[in-house]
Chain A
């Protein structure tokens, strides 16, 4: 028997099919719980500030990754910001065409050192540019459930 035997017909390759039968359940965590509840209850985005490093974390974090301080200074940051970078998606996870294409962006929020990855809405893909000023569009209070999807999308700021 050779170590490498050539498979020249597909049916010669025997494979056992299976899966890993699990469902993951992620808690929002200590900081995430407060961050998401504020979006749900008040449509407000919170950050936490590290006084030593002078950084405002969004999404709010329990600790400063740079100096390891526990963060207890919570503050509201703006729900407006700028597109830091973006991409236009033409296919979904199963490789099916997306029509219309979706625009995904990293939005840096004003008054913070962080931001959110989210969809852009009410805008044509070819109108999007880096630096575009945008604002969060929240779902109605009755529809919000403490999820990042309580923000429907970000849309260009209307002047």
Chain B
């Protein structure tokens, strides 16, 4: 049987108005899905360091690499990652986006600027996800040098949000 011979494929498409005007029967359900996700060992330490205003990574001696975010095992060689490495709070923009919509597709007038920032001192260079700030959206470039802007110590809670955002490194 050839697809070319099938006159009408099954499947009935509806419009949003069919729901609004109750032309079709439907039910709604809001799952009561609330979670508390444990930080775990490595990320627990990462958050504790963030609260102190520091970035920390881990090193795998076998693979000779230093990575962030920290993890308790190296997913390359499956050995424990047990050497903590303090890292500077500076880095390089690996890639970025200018995002004009929220997850539920509402428009933003000013874009958010998510970026992957390769953190100095990692080897080979690897990054974390964060936001850029104190920069004109059109001025952001891949390769731009950036540094973390921290919340004041009394506002820090041990969260990735203890870094407000990364901003361009100012010369001098």
Contact = CB atoms under 8 A, between A and B. Distances in A.
Contact, chains A and B (beta carbon distance below 8 A): yes
Interface string A115-159: 000000000000000000000000000000011000000000000
A19 B80 contact: no
Interface residues of A, number: 29
A148 B25 CA distance: 11
Given A27-B25, A30-B12, A13 B38 contact: yes
Interface in A1-37: 1, 3-5, 12-28, 30, 32-33, 36-37
A3 B41 contact: yes
Size class of B's contact patch?
A: 20 to 34
Contacts, number: 76
Nearest to A24: B29
A36 B38 CA distance: 44
Consensus secondary structure, chain A interface:
mixed
Contacts of A5: 41
B72 A27 contact: no
Contacts of B25: 27-28, 32-33, 36-37, 146-147
Interface of A: 1, 3-5, 12-28, 30, 32-33, 36-37, 93, 146-147
